[in-house]
């Protein structure tokens, strides 16, 4: 009875340890939220900090227009000046006002010891030629920030899509590894039966046991890679630490649903748009530098009150004397040392740079699109061929497993078939992933990602 209790206890502990080990090897996707590719992308576009910062940049650029508009509102300011003239300034008149020295001069001191001033001043722009180009430059800056936002969106879409496909790859690799483990364990049961019957050498039994261990190692490695891929996907989506998701589709489902459309209407590439906006910036900057040399006109006015007093007493009656004036101010640049002209010439050279960069980039994008299409078409052929090879290899293996179980096929021949299946699986997974990456890059090249 004691022996039976110990036996049951040991079996329970062994089963518990095996279950814990099994759970540790399982991918985190078993407890994760299931999402489609588009849902994963939408979550990433919502969560990623760089997109939130890009939106703030757009808002800041837009608010610059408000600042430019505010410059055309009246600029009003008030001022107060309290002054104690500890010594009045002497003024010399070139004639004598006393009548005592007609050929002489007269020394006078104007003012009183205390001179206080209160004033309100206003100024209104009427004409400022460079302001128009400043506004256009800022509107162009808003478009630049919007284009940067679109570029970051495309980059995040690409990163999330590739990470999503990476998870699908390792999910399929784990599934195939599980099938291999099940197959090897079945082979082990068959070989144990044959070895017990004396129809199989002990060395062959050891070889099958080694195959079982190797298959389990491959399964463990596949699951570890899957967990890493899931973590990478969560990171690309900007999820909080510890929160994970799992794909709602399998690799086979995705490959079945995909198709290549080489007649897609290509959308403008954000890279070209960025160069166009840079060229516009150089053109507007050149025009603004020329406008610096044009006259500016503004109106101004002042209402003030001046107090003159022997004693410091701002509230003394009869000591405040108001005055006011209005006027127009015309500023006409005459010579600035050729600074504006030199700056305008620099922008002409930068326009040439931008135009040349645009032309070169246009050629590179055409080449990228053509190369991406060729790569995609070849990858599609590769994945179709490798899928056919895998199906054929699995069909042959099923036959050879039956023949091995009926002892009409040797273990070495079965091992060779299993090795061919393993090679076919690896080729299929590699080509399938390469095809998905090629599709992502083709869509990016055509501006449809």
User: Per residue in 260-293, is it b (16+ CB within 10 Å) or e — as a string?
Assistant: eeeeeeeeebbbebbbbbbbbbbbbbbbbbbbbb
pLDDT of residue 29: 42
Confidence of residue 241 (pLDDT cuts 50, 70, 90): confident
Query: Which strand (E) or helix (H) includes residue 322?
Result: strand 320-331
Is 123 part of any domain?
A: no
**pLDDT tens, 143-193?**
999 999 999 999 999 999 999 999 999 999 999 999 999 998 988 888 888
CA separation for the pair 429, 218 (Å, rounded): 15
Task: Residue 203: give its domain's CATH number.
Answer: 1.20.1600.10
pLDDT of residue 146: 95
Confidence of residue 1 (pLDDT cuts 50, 70, 90): very low
Is 13 part of any domain?
A: no
Is 360 part of any domain?
A: yes
8 A C-beta contact, residue 303 and residue 324: yes
Is 2 part of any domain?
A: no
pLDDT of residue 423: 93
**pLDDT tens, 211-233?**
899 999 999 999 999 999 999 99
Is 136 part of any domain?
A: yes
Q: How many CA atoms lie within 13 A of 75 on its CB side?
A: 13
Is 213 part of any domain?
A: yes
DSSP secondary structure string, 260-306? --TT--PPPPHHHHHHHHHHHHHHHHHHHHHHTTS-EEEEEEEEEEE
Confidence of residue 437 (pLDDT cuts 50, 70, 90): very high
Q: Count of domains in the chain? A: 1
Phi, psi of 72 (to 5 degrees): -95, 0
- The closest alpha carbon to 407, from 207, 184, 180, 187, belongs to 187
Q: Of the ranges 123-132, 255-264, 290-299, which one carries the lowest mean pLDDT score?
A: 255-264
**pLDDT tens, 298-342?**
999 999 999 999 888 888 888 999 999 999 999 998 888 888 888
**pLDDT tens, 12-63?**
444 444 444 444 444 444 456 889 999 999 999 999 999 999 999 999 999 9
Calculate helix-pair angle for 339-405, 129-196, nearest 10 degrees.
10
pLDDT of residue 323: 93
**pLDDT tens, 354-368?**
999 999 999 999 999
Domain that holds residue 437: 33-71+128-294+333-446
SS3 category, 234: helix
Is 94 part of any domain?
A: no
Q: How many DSSP H helices and E strands does the chain contain?
A: 9, 8
Is 440 part of any domain?
A: yes
366's tokens: 């055409």
């Amino acid at each position: 009875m004691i022996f039976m209790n110990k036996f049951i206890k040991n079996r329970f502990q062994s089963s518990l340890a095996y279950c814990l080990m099994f759970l540790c090897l399982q991918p985190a996707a078993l407890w994760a939220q299931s999402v489609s590719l588009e849902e994963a992308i939408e979550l990433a576009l919502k969560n990623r900090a760089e997109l939130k910062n890009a939106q703030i940049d757009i808002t800041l650029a837009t608010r610059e227009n408000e600042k430019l508009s505010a410059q055309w509102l009246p600029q009003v300011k008030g001022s107060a000046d309290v002054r104690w003239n500890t010594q009045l300034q002497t003024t010399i008149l070139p004639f004598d006002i006393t009548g005592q020295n007609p050929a002489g001069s007269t020394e006078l001191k104007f003012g009183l010891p205390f001179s206080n001033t209160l004033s309100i001043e206003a100024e209104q722009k009427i004409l400022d030629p460079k302001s128009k180009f400043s506004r256009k430059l800022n509107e162009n800056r808003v478009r630049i920030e919007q284009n940067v936002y679109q570029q970051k969106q495309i980059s995040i879409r690409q990163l999330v899509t590739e990470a999503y496909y990476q998870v699908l790859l390792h999910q399929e690799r784990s599934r195939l590894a599980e099938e291999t483990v099940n197959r090897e364990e079945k082979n082990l049961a068959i070989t144990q039966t044959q070895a017990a019957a004396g129809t199989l050498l002990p060395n062959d039994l050891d070889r099958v046991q080694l195959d079982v261990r190797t298959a389990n190692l491959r399964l463990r490695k596949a699951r570890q890679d899957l967990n890493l891929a899931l973590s990478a996907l969560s990171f690309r989506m900007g999820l909080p630490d510890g929160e994970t998701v799992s794909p709602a589709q399998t690799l086979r489902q995705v490959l079945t649903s995909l198709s290549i459309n080489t007649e897609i209407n290509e959308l403008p590439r954000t890279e070209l748009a960025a160069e166009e906006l840079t060229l516009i910036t150089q053109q507007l900057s050149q025009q603004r530098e020329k406008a610096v040399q044009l006259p500016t006109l503004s109106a101004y006015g002042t209402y003030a009150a001046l107090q003159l007093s022997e004693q410091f007493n701002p509230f003394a009656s009869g000591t405040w004397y108001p005055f006011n004036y209005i006027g127009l101010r015309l500023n006409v640049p005459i010579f600035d040392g050729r600074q504006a002209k030199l700056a305008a010439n620099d922008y002409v050279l930068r326009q040439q740079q931008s135009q040349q960069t645009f032309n070169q980039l246009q050629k590179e994008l055409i080449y990228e699109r053509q190369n991406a299409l060729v790569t995609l078409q070849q990858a599609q052929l590769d994945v179709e061929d490798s899928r056919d090879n895998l199906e054929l290899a699995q069909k042959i293996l099923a036959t050879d497993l039956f023949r091995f179980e009926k002892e009409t096929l040797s273990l070495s021949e079965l091992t060779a078939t299993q090795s061919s299946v393993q090679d076919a699986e690896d080729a299929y997974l590699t080509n399938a992933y390469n095809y998905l990456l090629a599709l992502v890059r083709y869509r990016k090249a055509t501006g449809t990602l």
